[in-house]
């Protein structure tokens, strides 16, 4: 099962999984989207890998490390989170609402698009 977490719940999810290493927020949006609006890494490692390249870049991810997936509204990141879980990744979450929710819940300086 994939954890569905709101952006405001991310720090609690990170704390709950801290025994497994530093959490990675995996931004699966396209490069132009990341340039338009990006989160600041606070208590996590930020890694941008576009959704369509995730299968080819699995070696860049640690199966035991906590990974919270992020996209624009949460759809693409949910697909990637499910894919990672199928590939044996142990601690995976989807950031529900994506960067749009991040902007409205956590950081109003992050642009919406």
Active site residues: 71
**In the chain, which ranges are E strands?**
3-5, 24-27, 45-48, 67-70, 92-95
d(CA 83, CA 112): 27
d(CA 113, CA 110): 10
Instruction: Look up residue 41 and give its DSSP letter.
Output: P
Name residue 94's beta-bridge partners. Answer: 4, 69
Chain position carrying tokens 């989170």:
81
């Amino acid at each position: 099962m994939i954890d569905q977490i709101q952006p405001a719940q991310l720090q609690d999810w990170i704390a709950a999984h801290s025994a497994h290493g530093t959490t990675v927020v995996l931004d699966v949006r396209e490069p132009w989207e990341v340039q338009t609006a990006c989160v600041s890494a606070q208590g996590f490692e930020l890694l941008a890998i576009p959704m369509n390249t995730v299968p080819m870049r699995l070696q860049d991810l640690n199966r035991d490390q906590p990974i919270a997936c992020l996209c624009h509204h949460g759809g693409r990141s949910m697909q990637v989170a499910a894919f990672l879980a199928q590939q044996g990744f142990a601690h995976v979450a989807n950031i529900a609402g994506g960067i749009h929710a991040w902007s409205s819940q956590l950081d109003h300086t992050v642009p919406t698009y």
